Amino acid sequence: MSVTVRLPTPLRSAVGGERTIEIDASDLTSLQREIAARYPELAARVLRDGAFGRFVTVFVDGEDARFLERNADLSTAKIVEILPAMSGG
């Protein structure tokens, strides 16, 4: 099952300038594994010890991935979004 991953500007150079990439993944764990295997430059920026690092926030159809189980089903997900972790009201 292919998932669309949208990337912010600072990460696009790691995937040849693309805004989005398609990745075969059924859950977050396999998504991380596929990123590591297919996009090592992207992986170097967003993964730490094989998992999304604390300086990025990952959303699955708008839901913060930290609130999802690691094996949460991605098969019905429309889009996965990776953003720098920033906030401040």
Partner 1 sequence: MTTTLKEITALRGLRCRACGALQPADERYVCGECLGPIEPEYDLDVFETETLRADIERGPASLWRYAPLLPVAAPATHWPVGWTPLIEANRLGDALGIERLYLKDDTRNPTLSFKDRPVAVALARALELGLDTIACASTGNLAGAVAAAAARNGLRAFVFVPADIEPGKIASAAAYGATVVRVKGPYDAVNRLCGRLADEYGWGFVNFTLRPYYAEGSKTVLFECAEQLGWTLPHHIVVPVGSGALLTRQATAANQLRATGLVPESHFHIHAAQPAGCAPVSDAVLDNWRPVEPVRRPETLAKSLAIGAPADGDGSVKIVRDTRGSAASVTDDEIREAATLLATTEGVLVEPAGGVVVATAKQLASRGVFHPGETVVLYLTGNGYKGGPEETALGPVIDADADAFRLAYEEVLA
Q: Is 41 in the site for partner 1 (CB under 8 A)?
A: no
Stretch that binds partner 1, among 22-30, 31-39, 57-65, 70-78 (CB under 8 A): 57-65
- Using CB under 8 A, pick the residue from 29, 33, 72, 81 that binds partner 1: 81
Q: What is the DSSP string of 50-88?
A: TEE-TTEEEEETTEEGGGS-TT---TT-SEEEEEE----
What is the C-alpha separation between 81 and 47, in angstroms, rounded?
14
Q: Taking CB under 8 A as the rule, does residue 46 contact partner 1?
A: yes
State the minimum distance, in angstroms, from the CB of residue 62 to partner 1. Answer: 7
By the 8 A CB rule, do 15 and 21 touch? yes
Residues at the contact surface with partner 1, assessed by CB under 8 A: 8-11, 44-46, 53-57, 59, 62, 64, 66-67, 81, 83-89
